[in-house]
Amino acid sequence: MGLWITPVRAGQAIRQISLDDTREARLVAEAAVDRVREKFGAGVIDPAAIFGRAS
């Protein structure tokens, strides 16, 4: 089984596919965060890293 690559000009590609499931999961999470911020305001959700460790 081989990999076939065909050049595509900008604007022709319908969707960029990814072989990286981690990236796809992050994009889904980012979209969810964006919806929460739209509904409740920008200050209601932040990255967990800025809060420090619990315990």
Which pair of structure tokens corresponds to residue 2? 């081989």
Predicted confidence at residue 39, as pLDDT, reads 92
Tens-digit pLDDT string for the chain (55 aa): 566 666 777 777 666 666 778 888 888 888 888 998 999 998 888 777 666 666 6
DSSP-derived secondary structure for the chain: ---------TTT-S----S-HHHHHHHHHHHHHHHHHHHH-GGG---GGGG----
Token pair 């964006």 is found at 34
Predicted confidence at residue 55, as pLDDT, reads 60
Predicted confidence at residue 28, as pLDDT, reads 86
